[in-house]
Amino acid sequence: MADLDHLYDFKGKICDYITEQITQLFNMTPNEYNYPAWLQATMLFREIVVPCNYSPTEELIELAKTLVDACAVHDNKACFYQEKNGRKVNRTVVSVAKEVREINEWIELSLSHIR
């Protein structure tokens, strides 16, 4: 079907673009006021990629694995605080355990379609 060629071409371009943008976010160096890059990239991946119903590219699956691994290094959470008189105050913990679980499920589902 020649008509579907364009559909698949554009789908591939969109997947490549999403992979590229999330990878750039993952590799950026945030300042002390931003969430860590691994945390932002994981949250974006979960919000943008996981809900989609399609066969993803291998690069997208590899990116998902990289994000999950990066989260595991940080125990799936990031801690933020201010220092005041040598003490940590206003401590906040941001967990991405739910996002990591959903990304892992997405990885398994994606790989099952490939096998």
Locate the DSSP E strands across the chain: 77-84, 87-95
Give 4 or 49, the one with higher predicted confidence.
Answer: 49
Percent of the chain surpassing pLDDT 70: 97
Q: Which two tokens stand for residue 63?
A: 């990116």
User: Residue 2's pLDDT is what?
Assistant: 58
Domain ranges across the chain: 2-114
Contact 37, 26 (CB under 8 A): yes
List pLDDT tens digits, range 70-91: 999 999 999 888 888 988 888 8
Residue 67 is inside which H or E element, if any? helix 58-73
Q: What is the pLDDT of residues 36-53, one digit of tens each?
A: 999 999 999 999 999 987
pLDDT of residue 52: 84
Bridge partners, 93 (sequence order): 79
